[in-house]
Amino acid sequence: MVAMAVARERAEREGAVPGRGEAGAGREGGAEGEWAGRPWPVVVVLAAAASVASVQQTAVLPLLGRLQAALHAPLTSVAWAFTASLLVGAVATPLLGRMGDLYGRRRMLIGALVALVAGSVLGAVSTSLAVLVAARVLQGVSMAALPLTVGIVRDVLPRERLPTGLGVVSATMGVGVGGGLVLAGVVARYTGGYRPVFWVIAGLAAVATLVVALVVRDAAPPRTGRLDLPGAALLGGALVSLLLGIGQGRVWGWTSGRVLGLLAAALVLGALWIVVERRAAEPLVDIAMLTHRGTIGASLASLLLGFALYGGFTLIPNFVQTPARAGYGFGASVLAAGLLLLPTTLLMIVVSTQAGRLMRRVPAALLVAAGSGVTALAIGWLAVFHDHRWDVLGATVLLGVGVGLAFAALGTMAVEHVRADQTAVASAVNSLVRLVGGAVAGAVTTALLARDTLPGTSVPTEHAYATGFALGGGVALLAAAGSLVFHLLTRGRR
């Protein structure tokens, strides 16, 4: 999301698209108007709002075991409490981003935060899996808060201060993702069940909504245009059909009519989506950019890395919480599971903030390849070595380094071989495919765990986890290889 704003800034600098000053010239309140001299309180508020919106992405991961017990549901079904949020986020991010352009980013940001409050309250009072998944759907809308906050920061800050402001927002997004893991652990340490975590998120989101409403104002006027609602509906339908087919494959049978029908529907809806997007005057997603020779390497790497990261985030908490009597696992508490993943988040923040210096000397595609290779080592390590806590801790440290390096460089890799007026679109596509990769990872990894369980139980076997880790490592390795090939093919071309 931050890369989208950086890309837009680059386009403005090179004169390919209207800049902030031009956009805001029609009304008081541009960067030189209402916010002149005092934009930083707004930036701090927006960073806090982005952090709160990020918390919900990972807060349910350490709680999957509790959700199974409380809702009497198998892991493949409970996993929708995680997957649904990413799936909705993949559609809501470009849709609300476009609505922000048309109707005002502040209004859409408040709407996204209100959806987070409503979803959190619904999750807190839920007594069935269906209601909980509906709650997570509402929470997923809040993922659109991230690009909206970046857009407002870009509008209110003068150009020379923009990198600092974007860095602050970027860092707090990472804090939110890691904070979700720790929050779930701390609350679960002193309470029972899963509902208190949702109440805490609801409180945080309510405070964030109120402060944003009081402090933030739009600094740029709305634009004119249309919403691509058919594109959003087709994209959502294709993703739901695909993920539901994968998730229910074991339960219904991989050759059953329902599973084959869902997978066929995913293909048909996906094909229709491509047709509609190619013909739309203002498409939700620029399909041409997905296969653009300058961006296809970054799109592939982002998709694969999204799968590897969220697949690891799904597997690791469940693995370490498995009681040792199963023959593996550590019987860790929810808090301990969250803390074991904290190094990943912290190092992602540290490494990503320092990656800019490396990109002055090393091509972005090579850094993505290196980061993907480290990510593959981290997740692949757990496929073989997972008998001790330090194995997991070492893997999460490497995961933070690898993903932090790769994701930081992906923003540049996605835009460096396209025209200046295409940079914002290229970055948006790159962010979208990352979310899709994460959503697919949730469905695939839980299907793997549900396929291979200990006799007479729903507890996955050690082999099931090893297979999942091996798959995640292999996917990250493919990202490394693809990025390296992309570098060789585009070397010397700008």
Question: How much is the mean pLDDT over the chain?
Answer: 84
Same domain, 64 and 35: yes
pLDDT band at 423 (very low <50, low <70, confident <90, very high): low
Same domain, 316 and 438: yes
Same domain, 98 and 17: yes
Same domain, 342 and 397: yes
Helix, coil or strand: residue 255: coil
Structure token pair of residue 205: 């989101």
Alpha carbon 143 to its chain centroid, in Å, reads 8
Mean predicted confidence (pLDDT) in 92-111: 88
Same domain, 312 and 275: no
Same domain, 40 and 137: yes
pLDDT band at 26 (very low <50, low <70, confident <90, very high): very low
Q: Is residue 432 within 8 Å of residue 3, measured between CB atoms? A: no
Q: Which residue, chain included where needed, has tokens 């940079």?
A: 423
Q: Domain containing 254: what range?
A: 229-281
Structure token pair of residue 418: 């396209």
Model pLDDT, residue 475: 97
Structure token pair of residue 448: 């793997």
183, 206, 227 — which closes off a domain? Answer: 227
Same domain, 239 and 339: no
Same domain, 140 and 259: no
pLDDT band at 9 (very low <50, low <70, confident <90, very high): very low
Same domain, 374 and 275: no
Same domain, 147 and 296: no
| Vertex 482: Cα angle to 476 and 485 (nearest 5) | 145
Is the pTM higher than 0.85? The answer reads: no
Is the pLDDT score of 139 beyond 70? yes
Indicate which CATH number applies to the domain containing 95. 1.20.1250.20
227, 245, 268 — which closes off a domain? Answer: 227
How many angstroms separate the CA atoms of 387 and 377, rounded? 17
Percent of the chain with pLDDT over 70: 86
Q: Which stretch of 98-107, 230-239, 286-295 has the lowest confidence by average pLDDT?
A: 286-295
Total domains in the chain come to: 3
Q: Is residue 275 within 8 Å of residue 283, measured between CB atoms? A: no
Q: Work out whether the CA dihedral 386, 392, 398, 404 comes out positive or negative.
A: positive
Same domain, 292 and 274: no
Same domain, 302 and 257: no
pLDDT band at 113 (very low <50, low <70, confident <90, very high): very high
Helix, coil or strand: residue 24: coil
Q: Is 376 exposed, middle or buried (0-12, 13-18, 19+ CB in 10 A)?
A: buried
